[in-house]
Structure 1
Amino acid sequence: MNSQIDVAVMIGSGVPAALQARGLRVCWVVLVNGERRGTAFASRREALECQAAWQAQLGRTQAA
């Protein structure tokens, strides 16, 4: 099965309360086949690292 692994941005009220409490109004999440997996990340870099880990776990190379 070919899984789609994406990084998406959440803005405003979509940002979890814990991140909003830190003053963040944007966060990034990893989606596997359109479903959120794991936590919300405060930086895009962290989300991309998580995406790479999912790709490695599923035996895929990192997307360009």
Structure 2
Amino acid sequence: MHGKVDVAVMIGSGVPASLRALGRKVCWVVLVNGEQRGTAFATRAEAQECQLAWVEQLAVLKPGRRPLKHSA
């Protein structure tokens, strides 16, 4: 399984109502192969953490690939 994992920004009416109710006009989402996965994030940093998790998960699922290791 392969995948391209991106973080995209959504503005205005693309922001979920729950975040707009909190005064947010911008949010970030994670896209895997162009499709949104999971929820909208209030910060880019949160979305990037989710992006990293997807990248690691997809790396584990690739045949013949070893899982990524974090450096301390």
Q: Secondary structure at the match of 2:18?
A: helix
The reply to whether residue 44 of structure 1 matches residue 44 of structure 2 is: yes
In structure 2, the partner of 1:58 is 58
Count of residue pairs the alignment pairs up: 61
Using the size of structure 1 for normalisation, the TM-score is: 0.90
Structure 2: unaligned runs, 5 residues or longer:
61-67
Q: TM-score if structure 2 supplies the norm length?
A: 0.80
Q: 2:64: which partner in 1?
A: none
**Pairwise CA distance, 1:59:** 1.3
Q: Give the C-alpha shift of residue 2 in structure 1.
A: 2.4
Identity %: 69
- Structure 1 stretches of 4+ with a deviation exceeding 6 A read none
- The structure whose Rg is larger is 2
Q: Distance in 1 between matches of 2:4 and 2:56?
A: 13
